[in-house]
Amino acid sequence: MSKRKQPAVVDLFCGIGGLSYGFVSEGFDIVAGIDNDTSCKYSFETNNNSKFITKDVNNINGKDIDELFGNEDRVKILVGCAPCQPFSSYSFRQKEKDESKWKLLYEFARLIEETKPTIVSMENVPLLLHFKKAPVFSDFCDRLRKIGYFIDYKEIFCPDYGIPQRRTRLVLIASLLGDIRIIDKTHTPENYVTVKDVIADLPSVKAGETDKNDSLHRARALTPLNLKRIKATKEGGSWKDWPETLKLECHRKKSGKSYSSVYGRMKWTEPAPTMTTHCTGLGNGRFGHPEQDRAITLREAALFQTFPKDYSFIDETKAYNPSVISRQIGNAVPPELGRVIAVSIKKHLKEFKKI
């Protein structure tokens, strides 16, 4: 379809563009991404043929969004994933909450009220549904319904949609046109995409090495002690496989038994664990390669997040900080999840003859 007829999408909290890329793959036009993290600009713009606007959502109003959409007679879609740290499992265990953080979702609702795009999508962590101290999600839905939106939302277990990691996300889509639905599951446990499906064909690298043909296929170095630990860990295993001489003091305590995945290896025949901002560190979860004696590389993390191999994360003419790239990858919406949302919206727009 011509660009004038393509639905126009503005991506709030866009990061490096995982959500946007899913929409691009389904023929949507990403007119802009907005985020206050300037380190994401290169990846977002390079891969999504769009412009990155460095701005805090608290300082944006409806007029700003309307100007990005333009005056053309196009379907307007506002999407976003507000940073989810205030709704994480860790945050739920803390007695004191930073109320300014969950205000981001209220800011998202404000912008929807001020712009009234045809379609809205919001993606976040499932615990948002159970946040009792501040009912931010129910407030968000109530505000949308009051201005005429039809809403559908559900918790999506990513392997059910072909995403090779055990990530569960809350996805909401809403429309001013009428009833809208998230598409049905595309996979079952019998055909989940596994670790082996995703990374088995990559070249072997050792801890501390980088593949000469792929600067992103880079494994963090290990201390001699941690190298002994990973060698003592079987596929799918963890620190529980180690002899007592290799265990940390915290593992010997009763409370340490709850951290069963720390220093763990993945299993070839299952989806990977949820990618986090520290997923390339061996001690941060079950991020050990199934058989090579190292943690997963940046490339492997990106593939588990369903970024294609040609997605550009770094400007090869400049030095880069691997920790920054790891954070960007871990924070990203998996592009394939973005595509699931885009397919759901495209199906809806076709039903209402808007595309």
CATH code (residue 125): 3.40.50.150
- Give the pLDDT confidence of 311-323 residue by residue, as tens digits: 999 998 888 899 9
115 is a domain residue:
yes
Per-residue pLDDT band for 98 (boundaries 50, 70, 90) equals: low
Question: Which residue segment(s) compose the domain that 55 sits in?
Answer: 8-188+334-351
Give the range among 27-31, 123-127, 270-274 with minimum mean pLDDT.
Answer: 123-127
**pLDDT above 50 (res 45):** yes
**98 lies in the same domain as 168:** yes
How many Å apart are CA 187 and CA 141, to the nearest integer? 29
Residue (of 7, 24, 8) closest to 307 by Cα position: 24
pLDDT for 134 equals 66
| pLDDT value at residue 93 | 45
| Residue 90 pLDDT class (50, 70, 90 cuts) | very low
Residues 206-247 pLDDT 10s: 999 999 999 999 999 999 999 999 999 999 999 999 998 998
Per the domain annotation, does 326 fall within a domain?
yes
Q: Is the pLDDT of residue 36 over 80?
A: yes
In a domain, 216, yes or no: yes
Query: 2: exposed, middle or buried (C-beta count within 10 Å: 0-12, 13-18, 19+)?
Result: exposed
- In the chain, the amino acid numbered 211 is D
Average pLDDT over residues 71-95: 69
Do 122 and 235 lie in one domain? The reply is no
The predicted structure's pLDDT at residue 127: 85
Are 105 and 179 in the same domain? yes
Same domain, 176 and 218: no
207 within domain boundaries: yes
Of 36 and 319, the structure prediction assigns the larger pLDDT to 36
Give the model confidence (pLDDT) of 114-161 as tens digits.
999 999 999 998 988 877 666 889 999 999 999 999 999 999 999 999
- pLDDT(87) > 60: no
pLDDT of 253 above 70: no
Query: Is residue 9 within 8 Å of residue 29, measured between CB atoms?
Result: yes
Task: Supply the pLDDT for residue 318.
Answer: 87
- 44 close to 32: Cβ distance less than 8 angstroms: no
Number of domains in the chain: 2
Enzyme catalytic residues = 84
Report if residue 1 sits inside a domain. no
Query: Within this chain, do residues 303 and 347 fall inside the same structural domain, yes or no?
Result: no
* In-domain check, residue 95: yes
Residue 2 lies in a domain: no
3-state helix/strand/coil string of the chain: CCCCCCCEEEEECCCCCHHHHHHHCCCCEEEEEEECCHHHHHHHHHHHCCCEEECCHHHCCHHHHHHHHCCCCCCEEEEECCCCHHHCHHHHCCCCCCHHHHHHHHHHHHHHHHHCCCEEEEEECHHHHHCCCCCHHHHHHHHHHHCCCEEEEEEEEHHHHCCCECCEEEEEEEECCCCCCCCCCCCCHHHCCCHHHHHCCCCCCCCCCECCCCCCCECCCCCHHHHHHHHCCCCCCCHHHCCHHHCCHHHHCHHHHHCCCCCCECCCCCCECCCCCCCCCHHHCCCECCCCCCECCHHHHHHHCCCCCCCCCCCCCCCCCHHHHHHHHHHCCCHHHHHHHHHHHHHHHHHCCCC
Q: At 254, which CATH number?
A: 3.90.120.10
Residue 132 has a pLDDT of 67
Mark whether 200 and 299 lie in a shared domain: yes
Query: Residue 217 domain-assigned?
Result: yes
Same domain, 326 and 339: no
148 and 12 co-located in one domain: yes
pLDDT, mean of residues 38-58: 96
Give the per-residue pLDDT at 95: 41
> What is the average pLDDT value for the chain, to the nearest integer?
91
Q: Are residue 214 and residue 302 in the same domain, yes or no?
A: yes
Q: 294 and 229 share a domain?
A: yes
Q: Are residues 144 and 240 in the same domain?
A: no
Q: Are residues 113 and 209 located together in one domain of the fold?
A: no
